[in-house]
Chains A and B, each alone.
Chain A
Amino acid sequence: MLHEIGLALLRIIVVFGVALLFVAYLTYLERKIIGHMQVRMGPMRVGPHGLLQPIADGLKLFFKEDIVPYEAYKLTFYVAPLICLVCALVLFAVIPVSKSFMITRINIGLLYVLSIASVGVLGIILAGWASGSKYSLLGGLRSAAQMFSYEIFLGFSLMGPLMIAGSLDLAKIVEVQKVPMLIYQPVAFVIYIIAALGEINRVPFDLPEAESELVAGFHTEYSGMKFAYFFLAEYANMLVVSAIATIVFLAGWKGPFLPGWVWFLIKLFAFVYFFIWVRATFPRYRYDQFMQIGWKIMLPIVLANIVVTGIVMMLI
C-alpha cells in the first residue's frame, strides 16, 4: 500500500516536474522558432543561446508587483488563474507517455481530458469578468463563446477515432492502432487540429487575447505570478492538445527502433512545432468569421464524418 502510494507520488513528481519544465521551455522554443522564421535570433542573452531565458522570465514574473485593480472582484480575480492552471496541469495525469509510464490509467481517460478542459474555460471567463475592465470583459465573452463551441467540434472530431478504437481509455486507444488512426480518419484529424487551435487560443484563432484589439483580452489586468499562471496554463494546454493528437491519431508511443517515450516526444513536438509555425504564418480571424467557420463548416463536416465512419464500420 505504502509502496504503491510512494510510487504514485514519484510518478506525479516526475510527470509534473517534467511537464512544468517542458511548459517553461516551450516558451523558449516558441520564441526561438518564431525568431528564426522571422529572420532574427530570438532570445540570446541569458545563458548560451538564451537557454536560461525561461528561468529568468519566471524569476521576473515571480518578483513583479502584484497589481489588483480597484474595480476587480478580489476573490474571483485571485481564483481564476488558479482554475486555469490547475485544470491544465491535472490533464497530464492521464497522458500515457509510454506503454508503462503514466500517472494513472483510467478507463474514461479521454472523457476526463475533455471535461476538465472545459472547466478550464471557466477560469478564463471568470478572469475576464472579475478584472472589472471592459477589454477583459470582451475578451472573456469572446473566449466563452469560442471555447464552448470549439469544444464541441473537438469532442466530435474525436468521436470517429473513438468508434474505431472502441474505448475511451487513452492507453487502449494507442494499443488498438496497428497503423496510425490518421490513415482511417484524415477528416477528423484536420478538424481536430483546427478545433485545437481554437481551443488553446492560438493564431489564427487567438481572439480572446487579440493583442491589437483587446490589448491582452482576459488577462489585461493581470500581472506578476497570476499572469504567469495564465501563461503556463496556455502552454500546458498546448502540450496536452498535442499529446491527445499524438495518442489518438499518430499511435502514441508506437514506433520502430526507438524507445516509446522518445517516439511520443517526437510526435508531440511535431505538433507543437506545427502550432508555432501557424502562429508565424497567419493573420487573425475576426470573431464572427471564426464562429461561422465553426458552426457552418466544421460542424456539418464533423457530423458527416461520424455518420460515414458508423456506416463503414457496420458494413465491414
Chain B
Amino acid sequence: MAVKDEKQFKELFAKGTSLGKVEEDVMREAFKTQDLWVNMGPQHPSTHGVLRLILALQGERIVDMEVVIGYLHRGTEKLGEFKTYHQFIPLTDRLDYIAANAMNHGYVVAVEKLAEIEVPERAEYIRVLMAELSRISSHLLWLATHALDIGAMTVFLYCFREREMILDLFEMATGGRLTTTYFRIGGVADDLPEGFIDKCKEFCEIFPERVKDYDDLLYKNRIWLSRTVNIAKISAEKGLSLGLSGPSIRGSGVNWDLRRSNPYSVYDKLDFEVAVFDGCDVYARYLVRRKEMLESCKIVKQCLEWLEKNPGPVRAKVPKVFKPPVGEVYAAVEAPKGELGYYIVSDGSTRPYRIKIRAPSFANLMSLPEMCKGHLVADVIAAIGSIDIVLGEVDR
C-alpha cells in the first residue's frame, strides 16, 4: 500500500522540486525500507482547520514534510477590490475569526492612515480594549486546543469557560460574539453599553486567578514539560528569515512587539510588558502567550480606568461615500498571531484599487517544516499548536 501511495504522491507532486530528495542511506538500502507517506489533513482533529500536511515518515520520525494550504481560500483580496472601504470591514472579521477585533483594527488603522483621519481618543481606547480582549480570547482558544492536542483535556474546558465570559462581553458591546464588526473607519460603531465596564472589570479580577488554574495543570507538569521543552526549536535568525512574527518569534528571544516598537493607537500611553522568552521551543511559546494574556488583562484594566473618566465621541465624521486620496499605505498591528498588515492602494475612487492582507498565520506556517524535521509525529501536533494558526487567515 505504501508503494502505491508513494507512486501516486510522486506523480502528483514530483513536478515541483520542493520535496528535498530524501538521502539514500546505505542501511536503508540494505534493509529495503521505505518512507511511509501519511496524509495528515485536511480532515484531521488537530490541524486546526483544513490544513493538510504530507509527512514522510520513517517509523514515527519525520523525514520530510510538505504543507498544503488553500482549502479555505475565499478570495478576500479580490472581493475587496469590489467593495467600498466601509463594506470591506466585515470581510476582515472572517480572516482570523478567533480574534475578529484585531483584524478590524489592522484594517481601519490602514485606511485612517491613508485618508489621514483623526480618531477620537475615546474610540482609540475602546479599540485597544476590544483588541486586547480579543487577544486574550484568541490565546485562550490557543491554549485550550494546544493542550487538548497534547492530551490535557481539562484545560480545554477551563479555557472555554473564561473565553465564554469574553464572548459575552463582545455580545454586550457589539451584538456579535465571534465576528463582531465593531470597528469603523474613524472610530467604533457605538459607545460601550451601560454595565459593560463593570462586567469587564469583574472579568479582569477573575482572570488572573483562573490563569493559576491552568498553571496548576500545565505549568510545571512533568508530562507537559517533556512534551514541549526542546521540541520544535527554531532560532531567532532562522525564524525572522522565515517570516515568523508575533508570540512565536518572541518565544525565540526576539524582543519585537509592534505595540511597543512601532506604537499605534494609544499603546504608547499604556503600561505593559512585552513577553519575551528565549527557549526557542514549544514551551517558550507557551510561556510567551501565557504572559501575554496577563499583560493584556493589565492593558484592559488601564483602558477601563481611562474610559470611565473620559466620556466623549467615539466616531469621527467620515463621509458615507468615502474617497481617500490617491496613494498607497501599509499599516501593521500586532494581532494575537503576529504582525497583521494591510497594504492598500487607492486610486481615489470609493473602492480600493488593491488590498493585500499580510496574514501572520500564513507567514508563521512557513516555518513549520523547519520546526518539525527530525521530530516524531506527536511533535508535529505540538508544533502546529505552538505557532497558533487559523486557517481562515492563512488561506484568506
Chain A residues packing against B (C-beta within 8 Å): 34, 37-40, 71, 132, 134-135, 138, 142, 203-204, 206, 210-215, 279-289
Contacts and interface: CB of A to CB of B under 8 A. Distances in A.
Contacts of A132: 1
A134 B376 contact: no
B151 A284 contact: yes
A64 to B, nearest CB: 19
Contacts, number: 89
B186 to A, nearest CB: 42
Contacts of A215: 44-45
A282 B36 contact: no
A38 B149 CA distance: 17
Chain B contact surface mostly: helix
A137 to B, nearest CB: 8
B28 interface: no
Given A38-B158, A286-B376, A210 B226 contact: no
A213 B378 contact: yes
A288 B376 contact: yes
A256 B232 CA distance: 55
Interface stretch (B105-113, B117-125, B129-137, B216-224): B216-224
Nearest to A135: B38
Contact of A210 (B44, B224, B378): B378
Nearest to B226: A289
19 contacts: A34-B154, A134-B37, A138-B38, A138-B60, A138-B377, A212-B45, A213-B46, A214-B377, A281-B217, A282-B152, A282-B223, A283-B147, A283-B150, A283-B152, A285-B227, A286-B379, A287-B376, A288-B376, A289-B226
Contacts of B158: 38-39
B157 interface: yes
Nearest to A203: B151
A207 to B, nearest CB: 8
Interface in B42-56: 44-46
A134 B56 CA distance: 12
A210 B40 CA distance: 14
B69 interface: no
Contact of A212 (B36, B151, B221): B151
A289 B224 CA distance: 12
B227 A211 contact: no
B154 A212 contact: no
A283 B223 contact: yes
A93 to B, nearest CB: 34
B154 A281 contact: yes
B151 A134 contact: no
Contacts of B381: 212-213
Contact of B1 (A40, A71, A213, A287): A71
A214 B381 CA distance: 10
Given A281-B217, A286-B378, 4 more contacts: A38-B154, A212-B381, A285-B223, A286-B376
A6 B221 CA distance: 54
Contacts of B148: 212
Given A204-B223, A285-B226, A212 B46 contact: yes
A37 B153 CA distance: 11
B109 to A, nearest CB: 36
A138 B60 CA distance: 8
B73 interface: no
A211 B45 contact: yes
Contact of A38 (B151, B157, B221): B157
Contacts of B2: 134
A132 B1 CA distance: 8
Contact of B60 (A34, A40, A279, A287): A287
A212 B382 CA distance: 10
B1 A283 contact: no
A104 B156 CA distance: 45
